[in-house]
Structure 1
Amino acid sequence: MKIIVPMAGRGSRLRPHTLTVPKPLIPVAGKPIVHRLISDIAKVLGEPIEEIAFILGDPAFFGDDVVESLTQLAQELGAKASIYRQLDPKGTGHAIMCAEPSLSGPAVIAYADTLIRANFDLDKDADSVIWTKKVDNPEAYGVVNLNAQNHIVELVEKPKEFVSDQAVIGIYYFKDVAVLRNELQFVLDNNIINGGEYQINDGIKRMMADGKVFVTGKVDEWMDCGNKNVTVETNQRMLSFLEKDGEKLVADSVEKVNANIIEPCFIGENVVLKNTTIGPYVSVGSGTVIENATVKNSLIQSDSIIKNANLDNAMIGNHVRYDGNFETISIGDYSVLE
């Protein structure tokens, strides 16, 4: 099995946090989004992963440190890491084709901007599985249309009239991804463009027209990391799941001086908490110092200093220096507010 991960986008909706760190590498509940997503997919697949192919953007932004992090992720799962580049953002279908040498055999394609919780048996007899989640407002999503056999016969983007409540979440299984590769090559060769870009859906639609069987794989939870508010909410939900799983979330090296932790919280290595109440639903990266503060429902990354703060629904980057009484804030890396 292979996993193909298109992640060349700049994550503009999550700025300023994505000005210095690619969105898939921003930690949520103590682990980068893409690391958590790929590890959870591997658990669902329940079989050895042969290769993980990452499609990155410009090396000036997705540099050696990103490659090293992703290579380590693949190695932890016993897989080979392959690195490809999409230097010109021409859409989801084009991004996948940038990894053309890896597009053969059974594979999962996963876009690295969401997190999931799932527990189901993958239908490997189908030509493809499209993972979906039941939503209350399907008109805001791309959804699947099912026939009487529960096979997917159509993909409908933001339907004005009800089609189904099963939204496509951006994770796909292909029994032989070479079939998709060939259809996407046709899309590129014939300049089939939707929304100004080459789309994966146009390759999938050609597979459906050829009689390939598509079914749904439903996830229990689908969590977005598109902007600051939903990322903070996703951090809350993920911390709750990890607490139920019995994961250790507070490092032994945390130094507490007149400090209180209200669980669930993730507190990284060598964090210092002084005269502070943390939690619930807070993630703090390694090496951060928080003093004279109350923090809840927030994300604070590594090596920052937070003083005299009352924070709720806040997101603070790496190497930040913050001293103040603002509450709902979003501060990128290396910012100073004193």
Structure 2
Amino acid sequence: MKVIIPAAGIGSRLRPHTHTTPKSLLQVAGKPILGHILDEVSKLEVSEVIIIINFFGEMIKKYVNSNYSLKVRFVEQEQLKGLGYAIHLAAPYFDGEPILIILGDTVYHADLNEVIATGENSIGTHVVHDPRRFGIAEVKNNKIVRLKEKPEIPTSNLAVVGIYYIRNVDLLSEALDEMMEKKTTTRGEYQLTDALQIMIDKGVEIGVFDVDGWYDCGKPETLLATNQFLLSQLKFFPSVKGSVIMPPVFISPTAEIINSVLGPNVSVADGAAIANSIIRDSIIGQKAEVDQCIMEFSLIGDYARVKMQYRRFNVGDSSEIGYS
């Protein structure tokens, strides 16, 4: 089996952080999003991981090659024309093996070994209250009959969460080729759901499996929600002399915490320094400095400096905010 991770997106909703860091390398619970995904992939029997890159691709290559021994192929996506276009670029490397597609900005909680063991094409879904923001699956007898991308009038509340297991890879390649040749687009982009619908219309059965824990890291609020979920899975929480730590938290061993109250749901990255502050529900980046602050629901970028503030922050890398 091969795993494909599309990680070429701009991440515009996560600016200013994605001005300097690719979305898939933004940190949650002490590790980049991509790291959490690759940790799960490492538990599977995989012949190759294909990562589709564009913005800050060299940063992604460096991170993956420095931290994982998986066999990895990087595919450059020069034009951002949709998920279907990205998977079409990877199609020459399917080599007849089943593929597992996992979006590079998604953290999930599901047993993929169980999904793979069924030996059937299957897509991860999750019940949502407002399906208009997602691709949705219409299902009959546990088989998909129709896929729609962000419908204005939803006919299902099953959102497609960005995990796809496909065994009929030759048929998927043909469907992707057909989609490209006919210029079949939805909302101006080549969607993977359109290619999968071509397969379904030709009689290929694709089932669904429930993903009870699904965390999209595409916006500040969802990044913080993902951080909260991942922290809740930790078994050990550090103590810091002279400070109050309220689990769950992640504090890097190289971070410095002085006379502060941290938690719940706080991640502090390598080399960060926090003093005389009260922080909850926040992510503090590498070598960031926070002093005399009360903050919540905040994202503080790498090397940023924040002093004498009381509010919610979204501060990019190497920024400085202080009282004057």
Q: Does 1:337 align with 2:321?
A: yes
Amino acid at match of 2:188: G
Runs of 4+ off more than 4 Å:
123-127, 159-162
Q: Equivalent of 1:270, from 254, 266, 277?
A: 254
Distance 2:76 2:151 in 1: 33
Q: Measure how far apart 1:111 and its partner are.
A: 1.1
Number of residue pairs matched?
Answer: 320
Q: Does 1:146 align with 2:130?
A: no
> TM-score, normalised on structure 2?
0.93
Identical-pair percentage: 32
Question: Greater shift after overlay, 176-185 or 198-207?
Answer: 176-185
What is the correspondence of 1:80-159 to structure 2 with a 5 Å cutoff?
A: 80-104=71-95, 105-119=97-111, 121-122=114-115, 124=117, 127-147=120-140, 149-159=141-151
Distance 2:168 2:41 in 1: 18
Asked if 2 retains the 8 angstrom alpha-carbon contact of 1:126 and 1:215, the reply is no
Q: Which blocks of at least 5 consecutive residues in structure 1 are unaligned?
A: none
Asked if 2 retains the 8 angstrom alpha-carbon contact of 1:52 and 1:74, the reply is no
What is the correspondence of 1:287-326 to structure 2 with a 5 Å cutoff?
A: 287-326=271-310
Q: Equivalent of 2:57, from 62, 66, 77?
A: 62
Q: Measure how far apart 1:321 and its partner are.
A: 1.4
Taking only aligned residues, the RMSD between alpha carbons, in angstroms, comes to 1.9
Distance 1:225 1:280 in 2: 19
Cα 1:320/1:162, change in 2 over 3 Å? closer
Distance 1:192 1:143 in 2: 18
Q: Measure how far apart 1:112 and its partner are.
A: 1.0
Deviations 1:150-202 (A, max 9, x none): 11111123445553322100110011323212210121122222221211112
Q: Measure how far apart 1:222 and its partner are.
A: 0.8
Match of 1:185 in 2: 177
SS of corresponding position for 1:236? helix
Amino acid at match of 2:123: I
Q: Which blocks of at least 5 consecutive residues in structure 2 are unaligned?
A: none
Amino acid at match of 1:68: K
Deviations 1:269-325 (A, max 9, x none): 211111111111100001111011011111101111110110111110101111122
Distance 2:52 2:205 in 1: 27
